[in-house]
Chain A
């Protein structure tokens, strides 16, 4: 954690409630996000127990299993989930804008116009926490290779037709969620934790109820009290008032309520009593609803809190990256490509890693430009400085044929840029890509002088507005304000043999169909 983050947490302790960690909202928030709260069956990897989902706060859809070990029922639940999610996911593929790009044929050097489609919007899925993101990834992994009854060789346990497709989408969403700043699939605890500092640790912030307890404590309670209540308070049956946001349920819920209810359901089935079994199944659904509802409400409470924050300026630009990600996945499916492999080939893995690093840099820069509180981190570390201009002295570079403007700008600031004279600086919030160099810094008087180097037009006198005026607030960074492109990587087809060769050569490593529970 940064010192500014720690300071904010200390202030939260003092104030008895969370304090802002951002002045703007740094993540895209869809008008109608899909909220999804999954519950997993304990002890088994990627086995669903129930899901509550929907875009309408008032009417969530509940999918649940009366017996999580029943394979047929599990498939049925996944088929229901696919029926809920796929039309929504696919629906964004219909509205597109056309973008033309000029491409040069590498062989002939001939220029042609390439038209590409970009979906105008993309789906956004919100889940309670990172564990739910991982769980969706597991669901994706366990379903995307499944054979279905429609396959020529369906195997012993064919899955319902649309389930593998759902698995591919979930895999895509989970994969995209690894990219810093992406917003197709987001965890509510991460979202809230980015924008508020609580008076507890980041570890404790993983508990959605406790986190919201700090951000919006009920009347009469401090944040700490509300959080403790969310973590520990139980009713007279010993059940948590704020059930865990999943995917795992409280062990005492499992032992005290769920296990007996499942036993009753199994007994009714064993007796062949269909009516009783149905009633017992309804009991279980009701039980699961009681532990899902509080989290559902908290998810929407989180959405409300986030919506109240003004959107950061760079959100549309980053969301466009998400739209590209969505569009290309849509295209891969339309082109009949096989599901994502279990493990990426070397080139794809390197590409993804490079992309994540690049996106992290871009995110840091954009957040700093969008939010003075994020820029404050860089100022504190000596990577940026901001202050009021006290003097502007015209000066010129006369080495060339025509003199060029190189004005000296002096600002008053307590910031202490970590750099010697001559250090290159970048102006934030000024003309695009305006550079400067550090001339002198005097911490005792709080005066820093820089020389502007470009972005002032071609004439001897700078373009109006391109040089700050005395009294104006300015900000310079020591880091570049655009993320560099990393060195190009080969296409996956050109993977060198030292890195395993092209993916097709190793197609045999994709598991045919991991059969479960055999």
Chain B
């Protein structure tokens, strides 16, 4: 999705927005989608990612230009199977889907009519799509007692002064007036359970949709959106349900099965991440004024600009962020201990580089702290040199033998 996103109508861009747009340069804007927003939670502390996301820089493209392309991709078989399953779920006027929804959300039997909202679908008209989804939600709210299905509505979420465009698979307005987000995924619910990591990712994604729906609902009600996911406002503003419906193939076939997922917790996490993005201004400070990520920049300039943004690399980045291979190369170059695993830094105390930690390991054990070292340093140094001595002894010696 390379939508050029217009700012809020009638507003001139703020200095921050201008600065972010300047960073992006002539590169096409990558508008944040739910996957990107949900992935923020994977590495919340990373300022580099926060800035690039806020500026709408296409990180996959950037990674390629940096010479470390992201290894992500989806198999055409997976895509076509996913699409096929989605069609199946939505077939017959969503009869099966609504049955699953009633069952999983424990709704009473009803014979309310089912209507399908007319939505603008042209991908070139994001603003029109957002407006039509909003209008459909408003119309549904005015007419209780009916099922209204919004198929791939486009929702807008304000993120750090720019608009993120989000496209849930389905939003269903129930006869009781509540709105339920429906996520259709192609991993199976096997014997009643599903892969926890995948359910977690789907829940984070659904959480972003509920957040966007809450903003829309608050706008329609003319009130401020609630910041606390655990507090449901009354009236129209409280229409979005914080329980989403996850629809997956059942066992090894492609019959749909569903599970209700409470997304309040991921909503709270994502909310915090989004608020952090608003603080992106301070993260820009280390960037030289002329830095940028546009297509016109040389490799050296790009590397320098990316390097100026503080990264918080951990090996988990490799599967979560497009820049994973780039940041890994950088972290390896710097000899940083984080390249060895997430928990390693905590284990090594103040030793941030492999060289320093190895030097401490090679030094003879010292009882007291050397000048310039604090007690924590001395303690980690002592443990390291003990570990090194034990390792050397074990590798030099023979086995103790079994219990005779």
Closest to B190 in A: A45
- Contact of A45 with B252 at beta-carbon distance under 8 Å, contacts A314-B402, A428-B400 already known: yes
Whether A141 contacts B399 by the Cβ 8 Å rule is: no
Q: Does B288 contact A (CB under 8 A)?
A: no
In the bound assembly, the distance between CA atoms of A1 and B389 in angstroms comes to: 18
Question: In the complex, are the beta carbons of A20 and B388 less than 8 A apart?
Answer: no
CB of A68 within 8 A of CB of B394, answer no
A275 close to chain B: CB less than 8 A: no
- Is A80's CB within 8 Å of the partner chain B? no
Given contacts A68-B77, A259-B77, are A432 and B404 in contact (CB under 8 A)?
Answer: yes
Let me know if A4 and B387 touch, CB within 8 A: yes
Check: B286 CB closer than 8 A to any chain A CB: no
| A255 to B254 alpha-carbon distance, docked (Å) | 23
Complex contact B71–A231 (CB within 8 A): yes
Q: Are B187 and A45 in contact (CB under 8 A)?
A: yes
Which residue of B253, B254, B391 has the most chain A CB atoms within 10 A of its CB atom?
B391
Alpha-carbon gap, A141 to B192, bound state (A): 13
Interface membership of chain A positions 350-388, coded 1 if the CB is closer than 8 angstroms to chain B and 0 otherwise? 000000000000000010011111011001100000100
The residue in chain B whose Cβ has the minimal distance to the Cβ of A371 is B399
A41 within 8 A of B: yes
- Measured CB to CB, the nearest residue on chain B to A312 is B399
Are A3 and B341 within 8 A (Cβ)?
no
Report Cα–Cα, A371/B186, bound state, in Å.
Answer: 46
Indicate whether B227 reaches chain A with its CB closer than 8 angstroms. Answer: no
Q: How far is the CA of A47 from the CA of B71 in the complex (A)?
A: 24
- Tell me which residues across on chain B come within 8 A of A369, comparing CB atoms: 400-403
Q: Mark B322-365, 1 if CB is under 8 A from A, else 0.
A: 00010000001001010111111001100000100110010001
Once the chains bind, are A254 and B344 in contact (CB under 8 Å)?
Answer: no
A255 touches B399 (CB 8 A): no
B187 partner residues in chain A, CB cutoff 8 A: 45
| A305 is an interface residue with CB less than 8 A from chain B | no
User: A44 to chain B: which residues have CB within 8 Å?
Assistant: 77, 81, 252
Most buried by A among B80, B389, B403: B403
The answer to whether the Cβ of B28 comes within 8 Å of any Cβ in the partner chain is no
User: Are A45 and B71 also in contact (CB < 8 A) when A6-B340, A432-B403 are?
Assistant: no
Assess whether B22 is interfacial by the CB under 8 Å rule: no
Residues of chain B within 8 A (CB-CB) of A375 are: 394, 400
Interchain CB contact under 8 A, B76 and A1: no
A23 touches B403 (CB 8 A): no
B390 at the interface (CB under 8 A from A): yes
Say if the beta carbon of B126 comes within 8 Å of chain A: no
Contact A517–B253 (Cβ < 8 Å):
yes
The answer to the question of A224 belonging to the interface, with a C-beta cut-off of 8 Å to chain B, is yes
CA of A13 to CA of B357 in the docked complex: distance in angstroms?
A: 12
Q: Render A14-25 as a binary contact track against B, CB cut-off 8 A, 1 for contact.
A: 100000100110
**CB-CB < 8 A to A202: which residues of B?**
315, 341
A203 and B403 form a contact (CB under 8 A): no
Known: A23-B399, A43-B81, A204-B318. A379 touches B390 (CB 8 A): yes
For chain A, the bracket of interface size reads: 35 or more
Known contacts A203-B316, A515-B253; is-contact A373 B340 (Cβ 8 Å): no
Contact with B along A159-194 (1 / 0, CB 8 A): 000000000000000000000000000000000000
A41, A252, A342, A433: the one within 8 Å of B77 (CB): A41
A313 and B401 within 8 A (CB): yes
Residues of B within 8 A of A9 (CB): 340-341, 344
Enumerate chain A residues within 8 angstroms of B190, measured Cβ to Cβ.
Answer: 45, 138, 141
The answer to whether B403 and A45 have CB atoms under 8 Å apart is no
Q: Is there a chain B Cβ closer than 8 Å to A77's Cβ?
A: no
With A and B bound together, what is the CA distance between A46 and B188 in angstroms?
Answer: 10
Q: Does B82 contact A (CB under 8 A)?
A: yes
The yes or no answer to A91 lying at the interface (CB within 8 A) is no
Q: How far is the CB of A211 from chain B (nearest CB, A)?
A: 14
B79 interface residue (CB < 8 Å to A): yes
Q: How far is the CB of B337 from chain A (nearest CB, A)?
A: 7
Q: Are A372 and B399 in contact (CB-based, < 8 A)?
A: yes
Cα separation A433 to B386 with both chains bound (whole Å): 29
Confirm or deny: B398 has a beta carbon within 8 angstroms of a beta carbon on chain A. Answer: yes
Closest to A41 in B: B77
Interface residue? B395 (CB, 8 A)? yes
Task: Determine whether the beta carbon of A10 is less than 8 Å from that of B337.
Answer: yes
Identify which of residues 55-103 in chain B touch chain A, using a CB-to-CB cut-off of 8 Å: 69, 71, 73-82
Q: Is the CB of A43 within 8 A of B79?
A: yes
Tell me which residues from 160 to 198 in chain B have a Cβ below 8 Å from any Cβ of chain A.
Answer: 186-188, 190-191
Q: With A and B bound together, what is the CA distance between A279 and B253 in angstroms?
A: 30
For window 475-518 of A, CB contacts with B under 8 Å fall at: 475, 481, 514-518
Contact indicator per residue, chain B 372-388, by CB within 8 Å of chain A (1) or not (0): 00000000000110111
Write out the residue numbers on chain A whose beta carbons fall within 8 Å of the beta carbon of B249: 45
Q: Which of A129-143 touch B at CB < 8 Å?
A: 138, 141-142
Taking the complex as formed, is B289 at the interface, i.e. its CB lies under 8 A from any CB of chain A? Answer: no
Assuming the contacts A7-B388, A372-B394, asked whether A255 and B358 have C-beta atoms less than 8 A apart, the reply is: no
Q: Are B75 and A43 in contact (CB under 8 A)?
A: yes
Task: List A contacts of B358 (CB < 8 A).
Answer: 10-11, 14
Q: Mark A257-287, 1 if CB is under 8 A from B, else 0.
A: 0010000000000000000000000000000
Asked, given contacts A14-B354, A201-B315, A232-B325, whether A6 binds B347 with beta carbons under 8 Å apart, the answer is yes
Would you give the 0/1 interface string for A45-59, flagging 1 where the beta carbon is closer than 8 Å to chain B?
111000000000000
Chain B residues lying within 8 Å of A1, measured Cβ to Cβ, are 340-341, 343-344, 347
B109 contacts A by Cβ under 8 Å: no
With A43-B82, A254-B75, A373-B394 already in contact, the answer to whether A10 and B354 are too (CB < 8 A) is yes
Q: Are B394 and A3 in contact (CB under 8 A)?
A: no
Give Cα distance in the complex from A313 to B399, angstroms. Answer: 9
Answer whether residue B3 sits at the interface, using C-beta atoms and an 8 A cutoff: no
Q: Does B366 contact A (CB under 8 A)?
A: no
Instruction: With A68-B77, A251-B75, A432-B403 as known contacts, state yes or no: A201 contacts B395, CB within 8 Å.
Output: no
Contact indicator per residue, chain A 113-141, by CB within 8 Å of chain B (1) or not (0): 00000000000000000000000001001
- Nearest-CB residue, chain B, relative to A224: B332
Q: Which residues does chain B contribute within 8 Å of A430, judged by CB atoms?
A: 404
Which A residues are CB-close (under 8 A) to B398? Answer: 372
* B271-329 CB contacts (< 8 Å) to partner A: 315-316, 318-319, 325
The chain A residue with its CB closest to the CB of B78 is A43
Query: Inside 8 A of A224's CB, which chain B residues have their CB?
Result: 332
Cα(A249)–Cα(B348), bound, Å = 37
Q: Does A218 contact B (CB under 8 A)?
A: no
Chain B residues closer than 8 Å to A141, beta-carbon distance = 190-191
Counting CB contacts under 8 A, is B393 at the interface?
Answer: yes
| B390–A380 touching, CB < 8 Å | yes
A42: B residues at CB distance < 8 A:
75, 77-78, 81
**A340 beta carbon closer than 8 Å to chain B:** no
Please determine whether B75 and A45 come into contact, CB atoms closer than 8 angstroms.
no
The answer to whether B339 and A516 have CB atoms under 8 Å apart is no
A8 contacts chain B at the CB level, 8 A cutoff: yes
Given known contacts A24-B399, A203-B316, A313-B399, A255 and B394 CB-to-CB distance under 8 angstroms: no
Q: Which residue of B lies closest to A434 (CB)?
A: B403
- The closest CB in chain A to the CB of B249 belongs to A45
Chain B proximity of A10: nearest CB distance (Å): 5
For A199, the chain B residues whose CB sits under 8 A away are 340
A200 at interface (Cβ–Cβ under 8 A)? Answer: yes
The 8 A-B residue pairs whose C-beta atoms are closest, nearest first, are: A43-B78, A251-B73, A43-B81, A42-B75, A201-B315, A372-B394, A254-B75, A313-B402
11 contacts between A and B (CB under 8 A): A4-B387, A23-B394, A45-B190, A232-B325, A371-B394, A372-B394, A373-B391, A376-B390, A376-B393, A481-B403, A514-B251
Interface residues of A (CB under 8 A from B): 1, 3-4, 6-11, 13-14, 20, 23-24, 41-47, 68, 138, 141-142, 199-204, 224, 231-232, 248-252, 254-255, 259, 312-314, 342-343, 366, 369-373, 375-376, 379-380, 386, 414, 428-433, 473, 475, 481, 514-518
Known: A1-B347, A433-B403. 10 other contacts (CB 8 A): A10-B357, A42-B77, A43-B81, A232-B71, A251-B76, A372-B397, A376-B393, A514-B253, A515-B253, A516-B251
